[in-house]
Amino acid sequence: MPSFFAAEALLPGGWARDVRIAVDEAGRIASVRPGAAPEGAERLPGLVLPGIPNLHSHAFQRAMAGGAERRSPAGQDSFWTWRETMYRFVALLTPEEVEAVAAQLYVELLEWGFTAVCEFHYLHHQPDGTPYADPAEMALRHLQAARAAGIGITLLPCLYRHGGIFGKEPAPGQRRFLNDLDGFARIVERCREAAAGDAQAAIGLAPHSLRAVTPAMLAAVAAMDGPIHIHAAEQAREVEECLAATHARPVEWLLDNAPVDGRWCLIHATHMDAQEIEDLAASGAVAGLCPSTEASLGDGVFPLRDYLAQGGRFGVGTDSHVGTSPRDELRQLETSQRLALRERAVATSEALPHPGRLLVEAALAGGAQAAGRPLGAIAPGMRCDLVALDPEHPALVGRGGDALLDAWVFSGQGNPVQEVVCGGRRVVAAGRHARREEVAAAFRRTMRGLLARAGA
């Protein structure tokens, strides 16, 4: 049974020194002993945190990052104009290219300290909308990429049938996404078969949004097993359309008409009124925040202060992957609050006066809940996912404990992540993923081919 040793580690009860972490053959933590001796254990440098779950990813969009910024001819660019660019890009992708892009993304996530990813997967079919011979071909490419990179994954096949609330016909650019309930169920079943017995994988469900599924479809998905993720209230226009169609706001409608509880994750939930904030927090669901993407797309600012005051749960994801670091998502989340409220230290409490600590612990707990896997803590029974931060990095030097977490989140642009263990296996050493060059070479070939076909 392998063991790891951390001179200082963040445990559920707080900071501890000289921590020995024993791991079983399945990659679970068997025991945690503070005040232990290091002999016979693999030493991890610096300060050790639980690995952070990334609760929202569209992996193929990593290939678009930085490539959808140009002003459109009409100007007045928004999420909706970006979406048209995404539709044109997504028409180009082959299964092999999707796998190469996902593997590159997952290596990057690991190098920055994400050790699990919730892959919200809606790119199902061939460019003309015809299913592949295996209808789960594209989903299984993500599972294969995650295994190659060594990251844990909650694969969330997405049900996407319509183009607006409720039951509007989809746009031509959405044809690769579309399934009826039977087609969706076949994809879910194939994913469950492929993930069976894999302790690093779980399967959940993703009704895309109220724009993409009917109430009857949502009810059918809610009756299935697994965590449920759904986009909600990302854009003000979405709220307006939902009010016009249902006389309710999106989060309000979901809370009133779906069995929203602790297995649900509402992605974005940016535009909520005071009652929705209170009710979402009371539901036990997780708000899935993607601050870098929400800023990139001009979505708006999540009402974090009011949500925390109600005891709301949240985690962070990288969504469109304009950023791939948990540190950057947490920084963007807090600093966007400061800009909106003209205050500082928003994500704090009397018990946790350091925003870095509160943000990290919330992301750990909310991300683990959304992933539906035993993650997010250095404790027996949890996956052995560990992130070691270099205390000699210029952003961190001379700091420890909660002050070091503040420095990690709010200081500098370099990457202080030195070592990463995922499922009991070291996948990043000296800041580099073991398969970085191999994966990057395949990604470079893929990007050159994609951009040549796109005429870029």
Note the pLDDT tens digit of each residue in 328-343: 999 999 999 999 999 9
Is the separation of the CB atoms in 345 and 353 below 8 Å? Answer: yes
- Give Cα 57 to chain centroid, integer Å: 5
> What does the pLDDT read at residue 454?
86
- pLDDT (tens digit, 9 = 90+) per residue, 248-271? 999 999 999 999 999 999 999 999
Q: How many domains does the chain have?
A: 1
pLDDT band at 85 (very low <50, low <70, confident <90, very high): confident
* Closest by CA position to 202, among listed 31, 324, 375: 375
In a domain, 291, yes or no: yes
**Mean pLDDT, residues 82-88 taken together:** 88
pLDDT band at 72 (very low <50, low <70, confident <90, very high): confident
Amino acid residing at 148: A
In a domain, 411, yes or no: no
**Mean pLDDT, residues 212-224 taken together:** 97
Contacts of 83 (CB under 8 A, 6+ apart): none
**Does the active-site annotation cover 268?**
yes
**Mean pLDDT, residues 407-419 taken together:** 96
In a domain, 264, yes or no: yes
**Mean pLDDT, residues 186-215 taken together:** 97
Residue 456 has pLDDT above 70, yes or no: no
- pLDDT (tens digit, 9 = 90+) per residue, 86-101? 998 899 999 999 999 9
CATH number for the domain harbouring residue 60: 3.20.20.140
In a domain, 207, yes or no: yes
> What does the pLDDT read at residue 73?
84
> What does the pLDDT read at residue 80?
85
Contacts of 193 (CB under 8 A, 6+ apart): none
> What does the pLDDT read at residue 202?
98
Q: Give the structural domain span for 262.
A: 51-376
Question: Distance between CA atoms of 52 and 254, rounded to whole angstroms?
Answer: 28
> What does the pLDDT read at residue 74?
81
Question: Distance between CA atoms of 393 and 401, rounded to whole angstroms?
Answer: 15
Q: How far is CA 278 from CA 210, 234, 272, 304, 358, in A?
A: 21, 18, 10, 12, 20
Phi, psi of 102 (to 5 degrees): -65, -40
* Closest by CA position to 121, among listed 147, 136, 139, 104: 139
**Does the active-site annotation cover 390?**
no
CA dihedral 124→329→164→76, nearest 10 degrees, is -120
Contacts of 350 (CB under 8 A, 6+ apart): none
pLDDT band at 325 (very low <50, low <70, confident <90, very high): very high
Question: Distance between CA atoms of 333 and 73, rounded to whole angstroms?
Answer: 31
Question: Distance between CA atoms of 241 and 226, rounded to whole angstroms?
Answer: 29
* Closest by CA position to 383, among listed 23, 14, 19, 17: 23
pTM for the full predicted model: 0.97
- pLDDT (tens digit, 9 = 90+) per residue, 41-59? 999 999 999 999 999 999 9
Is the separation of the CB atoms in 426 and 419 below 8 Å? Answer: yes
Question: Distance between CA atoms of 410 and 257, rounded to whole angstroms?
Answer: 40
Question: Distance between CA atoms of 63 and 447, rounded to whole angstroms?
Answer: 7
User: What is the radius of gyration, based on Cα positions, of the chain?
Assistant: 21
Length of the chain as a residue count: 456
CA dihedral sign of residues 217, 218, 224, 225? positive
Contacts of 351 (CB under 8 A, 6+ apart): none
Residue 360 has pLDDT above 90, yes or no: yes
Mean pLDDT computed over every residue of the chain: 96
pLDDT more than 70, % of the chain = 100
Q: Which residues of 336-352 are buried (b: 16+ CB within 10 A; e: fewer)?
A: bbeeeeeeeebbbeeeb
Choosing from 268, 271, 321, 393, the catalytic residue is 268
Between 66 and 219, residue with greater pLDDT? 219
> What does the pLDDT read at residue 166?
86
Per-residue tokens: 268: 């974005």
In a domain, 361, yes or no: yes
- pLDDT (tens digit, 9 = 90+) per residue, 107-148? 999 999 999 999 999 999 999 999 999 999 999 999 999 999
CA dihedral 27→28→32→37, nearest 10 degrees, is -20
In a domain, 340, yes or no: yes
- Ranking 80-84, 307-311, 332-336, 339-343 by mean pLDDT, the lowest is 80-84
> What does the pLDDT read at residue 221?
98
In a domain, 251, yes or no: yes
Choosing from 299, 319, 390, 402, the catalytic residue is 319
In a domain, 315, yes or no: yes
> What does the pLDDT read at residue 40?
94
